[in-house]
Amino acid sequence: MIDNFIYGTPTQLRFGKGVIKDLPEVLSQYGKRVLMTYGGGSIKKMGLYDEVLRLLKDFTVVELPGIEPNPKYDPSVITGAKLCKEHKIDVILSVGGGSVLDCSKAISVCAKYDGEGWDLISGKVKAKAALPIVDILTLAATGSEYDCGCVISNTAILDKRGYLDELMFPAVSFLDPQYTFSVSAWQTACGTADAINHVLEQFFSFPNSLFNDGIMIAALRSLMTNVKIAIKEPTNYAARSELMYVCSWGCNGILANGSGYSGWPMHSIEHALSAYFDITHGAGLAIITPRWMQEILSERTVERFVTLGKDLFGFDKKLSDKEMAQKVIDEFYAFFESIGIPMHLGTLGVKEEAIEDMADHILANDDTSQDWAYVPLDKAALVRILKASM
């Protein structure tokens, strides 16, 4: 069934080789004063930084470098908002991965707000305005380039918050897969694991539909096939281009129009892990995925596993539902391991002593125990999943 829904993504995607040549024309629509945001130096190594500055020779460019993975409210968002106000910035240009773009989105609303920016990010106050954002993406993963969300860490209070507001849709996203050739095998694996998880967070829902199942299974097949090629051959354009395009569909809702809302429980759990231990988002998700699946497997949910078993993995239809479900869980575990993700949180530095605390934090932030969730998770369930992931 396709239930009632509202859908709209105003972002323009400019996809393919060399699309960046139109950057000056695109930015000019918004003004001449640009805040260029970027991370720890990958864009300099690949020559993109020089290329952007060459294209923007007729613009006033103010730079905000050093945005970290799991981007931090303090200093990055605070500094960026201050720069926008001081330099009367017209448009933000994000050059990098999801963290740079998420930070830029948070800056875009904080720059138009006179109070404490965290009040917006934590949902206490609704933003009224935002600066426009244009991005050049260099890592296929989050889907931030095609959605209106950002995820920001506040280390002072051990918090990592997902924040959604339609004001933060990028105006234009430049997606040239060649800029992802230099992404390491580890980040390629983690980015793809993130995108796989975005699909699964939406696949496990009720009601669902044949059509949405079909798109999501196609997405999973593409991600799981192409990540292996891209790890082996980092400059394989065919693989990198599919990864980039499919990842962009991850979080803007298009995969699950008319399906039930699952509550995105694995993301709730992972955000606490990154807040406490600054781990890589996709790695945390890959480790949690099979343990969450094991926790929620029941007579009510088994049909979702059976569909994946038959239509994604092509398992023998004569298997019992229970056998099929177990094979699906084992297959995801083996797949993530095969692309180089260590399948235990302890290996990433997560400490067992923090589990109870993290479970409380998850409930306080996202309340995964609510009835509207596909499978509500109370504290005991969260603790079981985290312990099994160690």
Separation of first and last alpha carbons in the chain: 38
- Contact partner at residue 253 from Zn ion, ligand NZQ, none, CB < 5 to 8 Å by partner kind: none
Residue 40: contacted member of ligand NZQ, Zn ion, none (CB under 5 to 8 Å, by partner type): ligand NZQ
Burial per residue of 200-223, b for 16 or more beta-carbon CB atoms within 10 angstroms, e otherwise: bbbbbbeebbeebbebbbebbebb
CB of 265 to Zn ion, least distance (A): 12
Least Å distance, CB 243 to ligand NZQ, is: 12
Residue from 187, 205, 248, 259 touching ligand NZQ (CB under 6 A): that is: 187
**Beta strand spans in 128-213 (E):** 133-137, 149-154, 159-164, 172-175
**Binding partner of residue 138 among Zn ion, ligand NZQ, none, CB under 5 to 8 Å per kind?**
ligand NZQ
- 179 scored as a contact of ligand NZQ (CB under 6 A): yes
Two structure tokens written together for 251: 């979080």
Q: Does 96 bind ligand NZQ (CB under 6 A)?
A: yes
Contacts 24+ apart (CB under 8 A), 161-166: 161/121, 161/122, 161/123, 161/271, 161/365, 162/267, 162/271, 163/106, 163/120, 163/121, 163/122, 163/123, 165/109, 165/120, 165/126, 165/127, 165/130
Least separation in angstroms between CB 310 and ligand NZQ: 28
Among 149, 234, 258, 260, binds ligand NZQ (CB under 6 A): 149
Which of Zn ion, ligand NZQ, none does residue 145 bind to, with CB < 5 to 8 Å depending on kind? none
Task: Return the number of the residue (237 or 315) whose C-beta is nearest ligand NZQ.
Answer: 237
Fill in the per-residue mask, 187 to 226: x = in contact with Zn ion (CB under 5 A), - = not in contact: -------x--------------------------------
Pairing of strands 149-154, 159-164: antiparallel
Q: Which is nearer to ligand NZQ, 43 or 328 (CB)?
A: 43
Sign of CA dihedral 219, 223, 225, 229: positive
* Residues forming beta bridges with residue 60, ordered by sequence position: 33
Give dist(CA 36, CA 27) in Å, integer.
12
CB-based closest residue to Zn ion: 194
263 binds, among Zn ion, ligand NZQ, none (CB under 5 to 8 A by kind): none
Place of tokens 């400490």: 351
Q: Of 331, 135, 146, give the one whose Cα is nearest residue 255.
A: 146
Q: Which is nearer to Zn ion, 30 or 292 (CB)?
A: 292
Binding footprint of Zn ion, residue count (CB under 5 A): 1
Residue 180 interface partner, choices ligand NZQ, Zn ion, none, CB cut-off 5-8 Å depending on type: ligand NZQ
Distance in Å, CB of 32 to ligand NZQ, minimum = 26
- Measured CA to CA, the distance from residue 226 to residue 219 in angstroms comes to 11
For the segment 243-282, give every residue that binds ligand NZQ (CB under 6 A): 251, 267, 281-282
Total count of residues recorded for the chain: 390
Cis ω for the linkage preceding 10 (within 30 of 0): no
Is position 147 an interface residue for Zn ion (rule: CB under 5 A)? Answer: no
Residue 12, helix vs strand vs coil: strand
Residue linked to tokens 């290996």: 347
> Residues 120-139: x/- map of binding to ligand NZQ (CB under 6 A)?
------------------xx
Q: Are 57 and 99 in contact (CB under 8 A)?
A: no
- Residue from 80, 132, 177, 191 touching ligand NZQ (CB under 6 A): that is 191
Q: State the nearest-atom distance from the C-beta of 129 to ligand NZQ, in Å.
A: 20
Please report, as ranges, the residues that interact with Zn ion according to CB under 5 A: 194
Please report, as ranges, the residues that interact with ligand NZQ according to CB under 6 A: 39-43, 46, 69-70, 96-100, 102, 138-139, 141-144, 147, 149-151, 179-180, 182-183, 187, 191, 194, 251, 267, 281-282
